[in-house]
Amino acid sequence: MSRPREGRLAGRVALITGTAGGQGAVAAELFAAEGATVVGCDVKEAPGVARVDLTDEEAVRRWVDGAAAEHGGIDILYANAGATRFHPLEEVTAQEWDFVLRHELDVVFFPVKHAWRHLKGSTSAAVVLVGSTAGMTGSMTNGRVAHTVTKAGVIALTRQLAAEGAPHGIRVNCVSPGMIETPATRGDLLAPDHPMRRIASAIPLGRIGSAEEAVRCALFLASADASYVTGANLVVDGGWSAVLPGSSVVA
């Protein structure tokens, strides 16, 4: 008689940011289904989700230390949360620039900084950051100067943290999604009046990705299946960034 499969994250404590909706909510569900004890947070209110402003370093420290104290440590950090603004260079105000840096870099840096000492105490420590194809390429259909800079920064941060974490057994990797359908993208990039509304025609696989498809890649990187993987940037974009566009035009 076959034995029930043990989840890939059984017995591990996973902090996941941005779990009130979108990819974070999907991550909380999938990580828990694989046996992890999930501790989620978000700036928005949601059942079972701690309300934390991730741009506030002291609030982040309290959340991380509280989770470690309650559950006896931390094994995984999935820094999923982020918020951005899209404008071309000449329209980016100082306030918008500061907003994007705070909500796409600070919200990653603070959780990693304060989880680091707890991760050092784990025998299976893993950090997963969220970059983007925006951090790898420019765009002629979407003005996103600040977003491009911050996501490139997350990818670079992944490599540096992998170097600093290796002596302590902490693996650090990044997932860089392309166009993923979420409530946020449906409201802007995939809206009927946006130039990128037909982006699927330029993606080799011919469709927009789902939140679950992106999260399952993060789940792989957090699990022992990726035990010899660190410093990697796993691109999840249906081949969008790997193949030159054909005759179809996104417009």
Tell whether 60 is covered by a domain.
yes
**pLDDT digit of tens for each residue in the chain (251 aa)?**
445 568 999 999 999 999 999 999 999 999 999 999 999 999 999 998 999 999 999 999 999 999 999 999 999 999 999 999 999 999 999 999 999 999 999 999 999 999 999 999 999 999 999 999 999 999 888 889 999 999 999 999 999 999 999 999 999 999 999 989 877 776 666 777 766 677 888 899 999 999 999 999 999 999 999 999 999 999 999 999 998 776 454 44
Domain count, the chain: 1
Residue 103 lies in domain: 13-236
Q: What is the pLDDT of residue 249?
A: 46
User: Whole-prediction pTM value?
Assistant: 0.92
Q: Are 9 and 35 in contact (CB under 8 A)?
A: yes
Sequence-separated (6 or more) residues with CB below 8 Å from residue 241: 133, 136, 137, 178, 235
Q: What is the pLDDT of residue 5?
A: 67
Q: What is the pLDDT of residue 250?
A: 46
Tell whether 93 is covered by a domain.
yes
Kindly report the CATH number assigned to the domain that includes residue 131: 3.40.50.720
Tell whether 197 is covered by a domain.
yes
Q: What is the pLDDT of residue 124?
A: 97
- CA–CA distance, 190 with 133 (Å, rounded to integer): 16
Tell whether 169 is covered by a domain.
yes
**Integer CA distances (angstroms), 13 to 38, 126, 161, 242, in order:** 6, 11, 20, 35
Q: What is the pLDDT of residue 245?
A: 72
Tell whether 1 is covered by a domain.
no
Q: How many CB atoms lie within 10 A of CB 220?
A: 16
Tell whether 247 is covered by a domain.
no
Tell whether 186 is covered by a domain.
yes
Q: What is the pLDDT of residue 186?
A: 67
Q: What is the pLDDT of residue 4?
A: 53
Q: What is the pLDDT of residue 189?
A: 62
Tell whether 3 is covered by a domain.
no
Q: What is the pLDDT of residue 251?
A: 40
Longest Cα separation, the chain: 66
Q: What is the pLDDT of residue 195?
A: 65
Q: What is the pLDDT of residue 109?
A: 98
**Integer CA distances (angstroms), 112 to 44, 66, 107, 132, in order:** 20, 15, 9, 18
Lookup: tokens for 177: 């999604």
Q: What is the pLDDT of residue 183?
A: 73
